[in-house]
Amino acid sequence: MYIKSSEMALADISNLEDIQLLVNTFYSRIRENELLGPIFNERIGDRWQEHLEKMYRFWQTVLLEVHTYTGSPFPPHAKLPVEALHFDTWLQIWNSTLDEFFTGEKASEAKWRGYKMAEMFMYKIEYYRNNDAKPLL
Ligand code: HEM
């Protein structure tokens, strides 16, 4: 019998498969989103598989403490044409995807991390815009 995910008992994020489900679903929604889709698609083009794999490593490092991501998250965001509304939309899609599949400490941490990163990115983007300076990192 087909069971809708909303009818299944939800569990926490606990392994790479969970991260892949989360990341794949999240970015498929991002790509369909009117506001964010064009921004991502324009920059990523035909490198989506590469981006998804990088994001598995990023969230695996953040949430599961399996240190597979080495990089600098901020630079690709420094000059994006984005405002608070873009980050709010990113967070809405992130939180609703998490709620749909997971519940527990890691799921809450994922929301918190998303929020903190969005806040930090927005702050830095505005800072560089207002100061007309080049980001160092
Ligand atoms: C308005 C919201 C956002 C937009 C439009 C955006 C857009 C992008 C784009 C276009 C890239 C890929 C750059 C490339 O490979 O060409 C990227 C990479 C990335 N994003 Fe975002 N992003 C947003 C928010 C966030 C948030 C909130 C997080 C963290 C929770 C995040 C984490 C990352 C990471 C880790 C990478 C990979 C960086 C690397 O190359 O090592 N992004 N983002």
Could you tell me if residue 62 is inside a domain? yes
Could you tell me if residue 28 is inside a domain? yes
At 117, which CATH number?
1.10.490.10
Q: Which residue puts its alpha carbon closest to atom 38 of ligand 1? A: 73
Could you tell me if residue 110 is inside a domain? yes
- The pLDDT score that the predictor gives to residue 77 is 97
Are 93 and 30 within 8 A, CB to CB?
Answer: yes
Q: Which residue puts its alpha carbon closest to atom 22 of ligand 1? A: 77
Could you tell me if residue 63 is inside a domain? yes
Q: Which residue puts its alpha carbon closest to atom 35 of ligand 1? A: 73
Could you tell me if residue 20 is inside a domain? yes
Could you tell me if residue 6 is inside a domain? no
Lowest mean per-residue pLDDT among 4-13, 14-23, 93-102, 122-131: 4-13
Are 43 and 78 within 8 A, CB to CB?
Answer: no
Structural domain harbouring 71: 13-131
Q: Which residue puts its alpha carbon closest to atom 11 of ligand 1? A: 76
DSSP helix/strand/coil, 15: coil
Nearest ligand 1 atom to alpha carbon 39: 5
Give the mean pLDDT of 24-51. Answer: 98
Whether the CA torsion 72, 131, 89, 43 is positive or negative: it is negative
- The pLDDT score that the predictor gives to residue 132 is 72
Cα 77 to middle of ligand 1, angstroms: 6
Could you tell me if residue 75 is inside a domain? yes
Are 113 and 62 within 8 A, CB to CB?
Answer: yes
* Cα–Cα nearest to 13, from 50, 56, 69: 56
Ligand 1 proximal residues by C-beta, below 6 Å: 36, 39-40, 43-44, 51, 54, 58, 71, 73, 76-77, 80, 82, 86-87, 90, 114, 117-118, 121
Nearest ligand 1 atom to alpha carbon 87: 1
Distance between alpha carbon 131 and the CA centroid of its chain, in Å?
Answer: 27
**Number of domains forming the structure of the chain:** 1
Count of residues making up the chain: 137
Give the mean pLDDT of 52-67. Answer: 97
Are 31 and 40 within 8 A, CB to CB?
Answer: yes
Could you tell me if residue 7 is inside a domain? no
